[in-house]
Every structure is written in structure tokens, then in C-alpha cells.
Structure 1
């Protein structure tokens, strides 16, 4: 059908532009953050764009519904302002009929959203976790820069000079902050430090030469001192944290289903199963909220409509958080979707309801 092809072309082209613009804005800020981390030496600059690529599917799960909704609002708004909707209505095509013509396209967008949330997004998070775990090994002496104090977790390290292969350091100052109240802080001063390579060991091991070792108790007037000719120091990397919200994003849906009794798993399962349905709500909301007077302009209702649709996404994310804590049931996901759908359906069935509400509110 000519009208369907015309609408699909307009909506797809507009939505792609909006999604690209939103992605550029969101990922641009994230890229600047990673550049800052790389400038501090905590991240290899060569993996920056790989990290952005792996995080992109996760961001698209939120950007795609919003971009699709804005694209619908812009296209329907232009139909009203250019009087094309009046021509279509006079030909027997109502706004609801036009929305039904876009159902196949909406199903395609929903399929993309399902693929992002169920498969591509978790795969990207998994690869991102792998990459950042590999970079996390670059701790301790890997971060040292000449004549700068560098902190990594409880460690602070200083060296006046280091070799090109980063295996020999000169005039080393090492400080380790105690993580327990009854344990002392550790300060080591050494003339030289040599890296020691140990197979299958991710820790940083160094031999310190000609130095002194101090143990200082915080808030207490006591310390201990020892001199050494050679002292082997082992700096452990941070232990992997237990499964949390960031790790659960990388788990496949099959493994999630096997552990569906856990509240965190239920939250993630509900998000992946019910989250794509916001695409359907986007079509219904855009159809109901896009009607404008040609004199008002196509952007007259755009911001209020975006706020209404954004409230749906925010509410779904709030449900996700509360379900993960065990405060709410996972069935609140479909309840929220049905509530928005029913209210939107009422406005679609009664086009004159909005003007009557405005009159009552003004009175």
C-alpha cells in the first residue's frame, strides 16, 4: 500500500536520525570518561573503541524505544501541520487506521529490541567485563609514572625513574593503607625495585633493594622500623566481586531461567521479557498524543509526550531495582505496561476526550 510505504519510510528515516543523535550524545560523554581513565594510566588507550563498541548494545536498549517514539511523534506531527492528516481523514483514513498500518514496522522494531535485550546486549556486557577484567590486572606497579604519586586501591606508589620495559624502578616509595583498624599502615622506601615474573600469577611481585620498612598504627603513638638489603613485595590485584547487577547483565537468558528463584535474576528476567513491549506502547502513545493544530506547529506536544513516554521507561527501571531488592513482585512489569496501554487505548477510542479534559481543568 502506497500510504503504508510512505509512512514507514518517513518513520524509519526519522527514527534512525534521532537514534544516531541520541547515541552520539550518550556515548560521547562515556568516551570522554574513558579517555580520562586512559590518561591516568589505568586503561590501555588501544581498547577504548572496543569498550565503546561492547557497551553500545546496552545503551541502544534504552535509546531505541525513545528514538522510535520521537520519530513517530515528528512524523505524525508533520502530517497534522502540513494538513496531510486532514486529507487522509477526508479519504476515510483515521489516525487509528494509520497506526494499524504501522503495526508490521513496529513488530520489526520490537524484534530488534528483543534481540538487543536478550542476546546482543548481554553478549556486549560479557565482552566488556572480560576486557575490563584484563585491564584490571594493570594495577600496582603497572601504573607507575616517573615522579608522580599513583594510587590504586589501598596502594600508593612513587618512583623517580623507571626503565622502558617497566621492570626496574628507582627511588621507590610504597604506601599500603590498612583496611582494618587494628592493623598498621605500611610504608617502604627503597633505592631500587625489580619486577619478578611468575607464571600463572596475576599479582605484581617486585624485589626491593636497599631500603627501610615502616609500620605505622593510625591514631596511636607507635611504629616499627626495619632496614633491609632485599625485600620481596607482593601486591595482590582486587578480588572479583560477587555477582551483582553489573554481572547479571552479562548472563544468558537460559542461565537466568535456571536460577529464576533469586530476586536479582527475576528482576533481570522481567526486564528482558517485558521490556521490549514498550515499543508497542510507543506506537499507541504517539498516535494519541501527536494531534496538533497546524498553527501550533509539529513540536507543540513533543516535549510533554517525551516526558510521558520517559516516565514509562523510568518506572520500568524503578520496578527493576525494587524487584532486585525483593521489595516487589516481578509481575509488576506487565501491570505497569497494561496500565499505560489501557489509558492510551481510552484516549485512542475517544479522540475528543483530551479537549474535554482541558476544558474541565481550565474551569
Structure 2
């Protein structure tokens, strides 16, 4: 009982500390990337916090699996380094004896990985696509934040309206720069309004001036107008585009028969299986010799994690390309690694050696 509780207590402490560090690093990287996308007009600046939350949810399964793997490797490596493992082995504990406390500690994490991979991750991708689609389908005038310069969706126009505008369909004191076919036009108007005519969107300007410059010759033309209409694009569709595979719910994905859907399903189920394999890998690779202060086991563990998760993505591409079926991809890669790790643990416990000795003693 003491053995089981002490191992699980230290594993939980190491796991929580590792997860906090990983979340801090990921949050920093995600925030920098999302702020860059918001400045380029990928989504509304007001949705930055929501987009960041959804992005963290999509990264959560890998972070949980990595934190679990690191905690198992670091705790068991410390026990070998401080000769604590020798004491447990002298008390009758073998390598397979650690499977019980490891799995009792790891099963809630593996269940959380499964829930976040199969349920939360697709939902987060779907919500992100909804926010981006909603922003992309807004009119160019609606994209503009009053008091700030904002490029249009195609990058050919830059808009500015003063801070007293409603920022939806009508803008006051409009400033606009248009660049197209070697011509640059600077348009100012007292008021602008978005209208729709025959499936096209137009910006109706009132009481303004237009300065047009030919970029090749520098010729400048000036004109004043009471009303002018500028084409800004097609009318937005009311419906959403077809959802990405990453945003599809898992039951819907299972019902799909396409290669792409099977590849995404292999990735999701494989990630859950990979979280379980990380526990076995940590137990198998953390073994060492207390008389030698070597960190090669940690290097091997890191290499295994990198290669394994790259192989997870590679099997997805194989299924999409039709080189493998989804069931052999799961069983061959993840099931094969499970058997190999169990065999390595048994070899470190001397199971194969004792079986060989029994077989030799049984011979006449």
C-alpha cells in the first residue's frame, strides 16, 4: 500500500508541474500567433480571447500525453538515480509491479485525452471556423473598426471611418485607398453606406472627392461628387461552408466512408492509444543503473516521443493516400508498439531468462 500511494503521489506532483510549464509555453506561443493573425484581418480583434481558448483546447490532448510521459520518465529515473528503485526491488517489487500504480494514476489522464480528442477538439475547431466564417462574411464596411485603418478581404482597398460611426453598414468621414490595374485612388467622403444590388455589394458614398493617380506615369486626376458607388464584392452567403474534417464530430466522422475521414479517425483514436503507450514507454525506458550517472535513457525517451508522434501523422497520411487501411494502421503501429514495450519490460524483469532456464531444466 505504501509503495502504491508513494509512487502515485510523486507522479501526480510531477505531472501537474510539467503540465503547468507546458501550458505556459503553449499559451505564450498561441497568443503571439493569434495576435499576428488578428492584425492581418483573419478574424475580429474582439474574438482573440475566444480563439486563443479554442486553440488551447485543440492542443490539450498532445499536452496531456506529453506531460504524462515526462512525469513517468522523470519520476522513475529519479528513483533509479537515488537508489530508491533498488530498495523497492529488494522488497520484492519488479518492473511489472509498477504497472498498477502507474495505470491507477494515468487512467484519468488517458480518459481526459480521449474526451478532449474525440469531443472537445472537434468542437473547438468548429467554433473557430464559425467565428472566422462570420468575420469573413461581413461587409468591408463592417470589418472596419471606427478610428482604425482596415484592409479589405482581397487586399485591394484600405478603409478608415471616424470613431463616431456605427461600424456596421454606415460610416461617417470615410477615407478609402483603392489600388487596381496600375491605378491608385484616394477617396474621401462625408458618409458611406453598404447597399446590395443584384447579388453584389456596393459602397454608396455621399459628398466626397476622388484623387486618382496612374502609377506608371504619375498622372493625377481629381474629381468631386455628390454620390458615387464603389463595388466591394459579392453579397455574403447566409450559410456556413462545409465543415473541415477536424471540426466534424466523431460519430459523424465514423459514418463517413472517405479516405480523408478514415485518416482523421486514425489520428484521433491513435492519439488516445498513444497516451496509454506513453505510460508503458516511460516505465520501459526509465530503467537505469544507480552506479552510473547516465542520461541516455532520457535521450531515448525523447527520441521515442518525437518519432512516435511523427509516425502518428504519417499513418494518417498513409490512410488518406490509400496505402493502408485504417484498422491495420491502428493495430500495426500502436498495437505493435504496445507489445514491444511490454516485451521490453518483461526482458528487464528477466522473464525471458527465467523461462529459458525453466525450459532447459525441463529437458531430460
TM-score, with length taken from structure 2: 0.78
Query: What's the offset of the Cα at 1:305?
Result: 0.6
Distance 1:323 1:301 in 2: 32
Where 2:156 maps in the other structure, the secondary structure is: strand
Query: Deviation digits for residues 304-333 of structure 1, max 9, x if unmatched?
Result: 212112211110112123323444322313
Distance 1:42 1:114 in 2: 30
Counterpart mapping for 1:293-304 below 5 A:
293-297=289-293, 299-304=295-300
Which stretch has the larger CA shift, 136-145 or 101-110?
Answer: 136-145
Counterpart mapping for 1:43-82 below 5 A:
43-82=43-82
Query: Deviation digits for residues 27-69 of structure 1, max 9, x if unmatched?
Result: 2111012223344566444322221211222101111111101
Counterpart mapping for 1:1-363 below 5 A:
1-39=1-39, 43-137=43-137, 140-141=140-141, 142-143=143-144, 151-158=151-158, 162-165=162-165, 166=167, 167-176=171-180, 188-192=185-189, 194-196=191-193, 205-209=202-206, 230-236=227-233, 243=242, 247-259=244-256, 261-297=257-293, 299-330=295-326, 331-351=328-348
Where 1:236 maps in the other structure, the secondary structure is: strand
Where 2:205 maps in the other structure, the secondary structure is: strand
Query: Deviation digits for residues 214-251 of structure 1, max 9, x if unmatched?
Result: 899x99xxxxx99965332342378899647xx21111
Distance 1:135 1:335 in 2: 43
Distance 1:186 1:241 in 2: 35
Query: What's the offset of the Cα at 1:164?
Result: 2.7
Query: Deviation digits for residues 224-281 of structure 1, max 9, x if unmatched?
Result: x99965332342378899647xx2111111211222x111111112222232111221
Paired residues, number: 335
Where 1:230 maps in the other structure, the secondary structure is: strand
5+ residue gaps, structure 2: 217-221, 351-364
Alignment correspondent of 1:181? none
Tell whether the 8 Å contact from 1:172 to 1:193 is kept in structure 2 after alignment: no
Distance 2:232 2:132 in 1: 19
Distance 1:104 1:147 in 2: 55
Tell whether the 8 Å contact from 1:80 to 1:293 is kept in structure 2 after alignment: yes
Assess, with a 3 A threshold, how the Cα gap between structure 1 residues 277 and 327 changes in structure 2: closer, same or farther. same
Query: What's the offset of the Cα at 1:336?
Result: 0.7
Tell whether the 8 Å contact from 1:144 to 1:158 is kept in structure 2 after alignment: no
5+ residue gaps, structure 1: 177-183, 220-224, 354-363
Tell whether the 8 Å contact from 2:160 to 2:174 is kept in structure 1 after alignment: yes
Which stretch has the larger CA shift, 167-176 or 83-92?
Answer: 167-176
Tell whether the 8 Å contact from 2:58 to 2:124 is kept in structure 1 after alignment: yes
Tell whether the 8 Å contact from 1:73 to 1:302 is kept in structure 2 after alignment: yes
For the aligned residue pairs, the C-alpha RMSD in angstroms reads: 3.6
Distance 2:39 2:213 in 1: 33
